Structure 1
Amino acid sequence: MKPGTRLRSAADDTEVMVIRCGAGTIQCGGAPMTVEKPSEAAPLSASFSAGTMMGKRYVDTAGQFELLCVKPGKGSLAVDGVALVVKEAKPLPASD
């Protein structure tokens, strides 16, 4: 998978754009994400139902994955079952 690829959730309406990608399966709501929207919806996992926020970047702790949410949904993002977190903004330098 390369940067710029748009992925769609099989469990809800979430769509993300890949910014950085390593080896692993990107999931949303407990189901793998695909390039095409599947014809049949997968069930939303209760442990991955925290939701996604539009415009936020999601990263893993190792820094191998970075995803930009372009359409929010009820499912939360994960890679191989490990939840991704919202990337924090870098603080601007203080101007005295």
Structure 2
Amino acid sequence: MTSPATRLRPGDQLASTVCSTRVVVIRAAEGQPVIACGGSPMVAAAAATARPAPSGGADAATLIGKRYTDAAGTLELLCTVSGSGALSCDGVPMTIKAAKPLPASD
């Protein structure tokens, strides 16, 4: 799915090849980023197959229901199935998107 010839679009579903992680693209970045989980590129959810052990520490994990974003904030993924691999975009680890604070109601 994230090969150089493929472009990400909102709604695309990706699956890890090394753990049970599955994500949905919420916001797509310009260009053609390589999305990886546990050190291996993710594939289209329909094409997911075997899952060898991920590369990364024991504390690296994706959490269900959390949104992950790249450093520039141009790519956003929603985790639909948690797993033991860490997400990365073009080799740079993705971070959990922080919730926006609510306005004061004084």
TM-score between both structures, scaled by the size of structure 2: 0.83
2 CA distance for matches of 1:14 and 1:43? 12
Give the conservation status (yes or no) of the 8 Å contact 1:48–1:76: no
Give the superposition deviation at 1:48: 8.8
Matched, 1:18 2:29: no
Q: Which residue of 2 aligns with 1:73?
A: 83
2 CA distance for matches of 1:2 and 1:29? 22
How many residue pairs get aligned? The number is 95
More deviation in 9-18 or 40-49? Answer: 40-49
Percent identical: 46
Give the conservation status (yes or no) of the 8 Å contact 1:28–1:48: no
Give the superposition deviation at 1:80: 1.3
SS at match of 2:43: coil
1 CA distance for matches of 2:98 and 2:73? 13
Runs of 4+ in structure 1 off by over 3 angstroms are none
Structure 1: stretches of 5+ with no match in the other structure: none
Give the conservation status (yes or no) of the 8 Å contact 1:10–1:41: yes
2 CA distance for matches of 1:56 and 1:41? 22
1 CA distance for matches of 2:69 and 2:10? 14
